[in-house]
Amino acid sequence: MPPAALSVHLSIGQAYAWSVFKPPLESSMDLSGTASALPFQLGIVMLGLSAAFGGTLVERNGPRWAMFVSLVCFSSGFLVASLGAATSQFWLVVLGYGFIGGIGLGIGYISPVSTLMKWFPDRPGMATGIAIMGFGGGALIASPWSSWLMERFGTDNGGIATTFLVHGLTYGVFMALGVLLVRVPPEGWRPAGWEPPLEQGHMVSTADVSARNALRTPQFWCLWVVLCMNVTAGIGILEKAAPMIGDYFKDTDTPVSATAAAGFVALLSAANMTGRLVWSSTSDLIGRKNMYRIYLGVGALMYLAIAQLGDSSKPLFVVCALVILSFYGGGFATVPAYLKDLFGTYQVGAIHGRLLTAWSVAGVLGPYIVNKVADHQEEAGKTGPGLYSLSLTIMIALLVVGFIANELVRPVHPRFHEPAPAAAAEAEAAPAEKGGDR
Amino acid sequence: MSEPTGNRTALTVAVWAWVVLPFGYGVYELIRKATQLFTG
């Protein structure tokens, strides 16, 4: 099951490497930077929307269906974008990569989540951490690979079109492994030698809550705020990482070159990726609520350290930024297990899909805050660390809001729980509907 | 009984290689870039 999930997440994680296509598209199609970002932005919006609205379908039809839909959308999105580049029709690139491919992103992102937690009931955090780490790792593969292809095929319209075509076909084949391998475990399946603990933790429910009822609980909205704040704070650094480290140490004895700044960005990607596996696995040991206390509380302290230290220590600046980015990745990877603890595995994929709308909001909010504030500070004549001090203060405040929201999370009231017989009947009917998924 | 087990092991190795090899390539490229922070 983990390779099946990884084959999908490593593919759709390509989305984070879209920036590789921006300069060639801008020069070959005469686009502005804002316009060339459109396919990616629409892709992320569609990710949130398709995960939110397609989550129930994913639960009903099973992970094989979901992975197949993701494969078709993501792969054909590249093929449509290829047609757009070949004919110099940018709207086709937006439609293909952003709209069609974005649906593949959303459905593919949530496709293995609930199945993984059913296979690994003893370590749900680690299980989803592996898959969601794959999403972080997808860009690591796609970024150098796409650059390599464009070096071979060229960066004119024909070269970009061929590169898109190769991407569409290759990802189609690569994701097919997931479609072929994925299986839902039999009802009541347990790992050998593992028995569910007789006494669950205070925050771990054995009852199930439907996706519709989950939206009516304060717990869902508290977690929505938690995810939104954590992601906003992480994106705040990720978005401006390269210029930020350059500006910070510009007036010191050890200024940071553009090459070194690129190395810093690569290190942040590594922290983002490893945080997904390491912290979500840790959450299996210390509990989800405690894990988010660390993400949000220690994260706020890391931002405070960056703000207070200024340009006095480059190593400390780098370490703090790495910790923040590892918490950013960890926040993504731990949230499915947090949802499972609160709402059960019954429709956790659909609930997770609805929660991902927080990501769409944070994707707009984080970069907007950091860019807007930095521009304003620059106009005010500030330089160096002063450019970012207000942004950092805002990020600390957002993390504190997230911390409070996490503290407000309590076990779900029994009135939202599914009646046990109904849940059992639904589970019995599911194998017939899912057919080959088992 | 041993042949099906052997086939299963081979399949497991093959499917893990399917995802680990491209991932390894990505990690290798990442390390190359990350070292620029200390050398660039």
pLDDT tens digits, A58-74: 878 888 999 999 999 99
**pLDDT category, A227, cuts 50, 70, 90?**
very high
Angle between helices A258-286 and B2-34 (to 10 degrees): 140
| Cross-chain Cβ contact B23/A141 below 8 Å | yes
Q: What's the rounded mean pLDDT across residues A198-205?
A: 63
Q: What is the pLDDT of residue B4?
A: 66
Closest CA to A168 of A85, A93, A73, A44: A73
| Cross-chain Cβ contact B33/A266 below 8 Å | yes
**pLDDT category, A432, cuts 50, 70, 90?**
very low
Report how many Cβ contacts below 8 Å link chain A to chain B.
74
CA distances from A182 to A8, A14, A52, A397, A437 (A): 11, 21, 22, 42, 7
- Nearest-angstrom CA–CA distance, A324 and A115: 29
| Cross-chain Cβ contact B22/A3 below 8 Å | no
| Cross-chain Cβ contact A266/B34 below 8 Å | yes
Q: Which of B16, B18, B29 sits opposite A140 (nearest CB)?
A: B29
In b/e form, how buried is each residue of A94-124, taking b as 16+ CB within 10 angstroms?
bbbbbbbbbbbbbbbbbbbbbbbbbbbbebb
Q: Which of A141, A258, A264 sits opposite B25 (nearest CB)?
A: A141
**pLDDT category, A374, cuts 50, 70, 90?**
confident
pLDDT tens digits, A229-283: 999 888 777 767 777 888 888 888 778 777 777 778 778 888 888 899 899 999 9
Question: Tokens 């390539």 — which residue?
Answer: B25
Measured between CA atoms, the residue of chain A closest to residue B17 is: A3
- Nearest-angstrom CA–CA distance, A129 and A135: 10
Q: What is the pLDDT of residue A168?
A: 95
Q: Which of B19, B29, B39 sits opposite A10 (nearest CB)?
A: B19
Considering chain A, what percentage of its residues have pLDDT values greater than 90? 34
Neighbouring C-beta atoms of residue A425, cutoff 10 Å: 11
Q: What is the DSSP letter of A89?
A: -
- Inter-residue contact A405 to A225 (CB < 8 Å): yes
Rounded to two decimals, the pTM is 0.80
1-40 of B, contacting A, C-beta below 8 A: 15-16, 18-19, 22-23, 25-27, 29-30, 33-40
**pLDDT category, A103, cuts 50, 70, 90?**
very high
Question: Tokens 């680690």 — which residue?
Answer: A126
Nearest chain A CA: its distance from B9 CA (Å): 14
Average pLDDT of chain A is: 85
- Nearest-angstrom CA–CA distance, A81 and A36: 13
pLDDT tens digits, A79-100: 999 999 999 999 999 999 999 9
> In angstroms, how far apart are the furthest CA atoms of chain B?
57
